Amino acid sequence: MAVYWNGPPGWPTPPTGWLPPAGWRPPAHWPAAPSDWVFLIEVDDSVPAPAPARRQSHRGAWVMAATVAVLALVAGALVGRGLDPRQSAEAVAPQATVQPAAPMTPAATAPAEPAPAISVQAPPSPNLEVFAEPVEPARPPDFPPPGVGEQPRRLLAKVPFNGSSDWAAMTTNPDGSAAGFSPCRQWQVVVNLAGAPAGAYDLVAGVVATVRQATGVAFVLEGTTDEPASAEATRRAYQPERYGERWAPILIGWAPSTAENAAGQGGPQGVTESETGLTHYVTGFVAIDPDGSSNSDPVTLRAILLHELAHVVGLNHVPDPTQLMAPVYQDQREFQRGDLAGLAAVGSGSCSPDL
């Protein structure tokens, strides 16, 4: 067995392979670790670590794209924008860019395939460059340094797949896998509470913990932020001036809807490698309408947050009305069997050391 360090949210990232020496204690000014935090992770050395993603030695480019899902509250039901209250659809907003938190490695990318009928990939980021051969492509200026916080193996145990087919991915890779976040590093979540009801932070904390458990991916609530929330999907994925040299954390906030009667919207932002066609998500956002009636009901608000954060980590709408990822809310308060199958699938992806 090999042992790897797993630092809590807010702690500096040590060099790869670092382990605390005997008697080591963190400085008093570092934030307190969650009470159930696992600092050292054991992995089976008999299982070979995944090989790092191959870098291109010829012409290449990285492309950033976002997929956004919109939910509307119509006659007490959550529905896809622009459809009959019993239909579903994903509306695509222009890529939401985000603030950075911890450096990550980019992968060479090409525009991601749009999700079936519900999502559409945004156009390539305007400041992407194509680099001439024979030089290996330089890193785009809107990418953080590669691989910050990435470990050679996943941080949390892989969640078993229950076999249900009642789920859909926001993006399906060429190899048939569902696109998701790397399970080999922590992904921070921040909250802007402007416009949020009392108790919203605790609701978000519980929702993040639920999604972490269901995916086996280390999503961690880092705290609050003053970054303005928006339903326009215009965040920058890399904001070193706010979050440091890392991809911006997933942002959850309250902002006026861009669609009539929308209760909330959200989606991931990903990087697609042009050589393999594989998409890895690096950030995302959730925007809840502060004026919606559901915002005053903690039970409904929690369901909306679960639904929207599931979009961020990679799930699409499904026609089965019993699933939480159905476009119509019918008092589904928890993830159902199909939802859990999908969350396990999006959490079972590969490491992304080049992002």
Same domain, 95 and 39: no
Same domain, 33 and 127: no
31 vs 240, higher pLDDT: 240
What pTM was computed for the model?
0.68
Same domain, 72 and 13: no
Domain that holds residue 254: 62-346
Task: Give pLDDT, residue 43.
Answer: 62
Could you report the per-residue pLDDT of 48-92, keeping only the tens digit for each? 544 433 333 222 334 556 666 654 333 222 323 322 222 333 333
Residue 57 placed within a domain:
no
Q: What's the number of domains the chain is made of?
A: 2
Same domain, 92 and 12: no
Same domain, 8 and 141: no
Task: Give pLDDT, residue 324.
Answer: 96
3-state secondary structure the chain: CEEEECCCCCCCCCCCCCCCCCCCCCCCCCCCCCCCCCCEEEECCCCCCCCCCCCCCCCECEEEEECCEEEEEECCEEECCCCCCCCCCCCCCCCCCCCCCECCCCCCCCCCCCCCCCCCCCCCCCCCCCECCCCCCCCCCCCCCCCCCCCCCCCCCCCCCCCCCCCCECCECCCCCECEECCCCCEEEEEECCCCCCCHHHHHHHHHHHHHHHHCCCEEEEEECCCCCCCCCCCCCCCHHHHCCCECCEEEEECCCCCCCEEEEEEEEEEEECCCCCEEEEEEEEEECCCCHHHHCHHHHHHHHHHHHHHHHCECCCCCCCCCCCCCCCCCCCCCHHHHHHHHHHCCCCCCCCC
Same domain, 187 and 327: yes
Residue 119 has pLDDT above 60, yes or no: no
234 vs 318, higher pLDDT: 318
**Mean pLDDT, residues 297-325:** 95
Same domain, 95 and 209: yes
Same domain, 190 and 43: no
Residue 17 placed within a domain:
yes
Same domain, 42 and 91: no
Residue 113 placed within a domain:
yes
Same domain, 202 and 66: yes
Residue 124 has pLDDT above 50, yes or no: no
Residue 109 placed within a domain:
yes
Residue 354 placed within a domain:
no
Residue 18 has pLDDT above 70, yes or no: yes
Residue 171 placed within a domain:
yes
Task: Give pLDDT, residue 93.
Answer: 35
Same domain, 39 and 80: no
What CATH code is carried by the domain that includes residue 223?
3.40.390.10
Task: Give pLDDT, residue 87.
Answer: 30
Residue 352 placed within a domain:
no
Same domain, 192 and 316: yes
Residue 353 placed within a domain:
no
**Mean pLDDT, residues 296-309:** 94
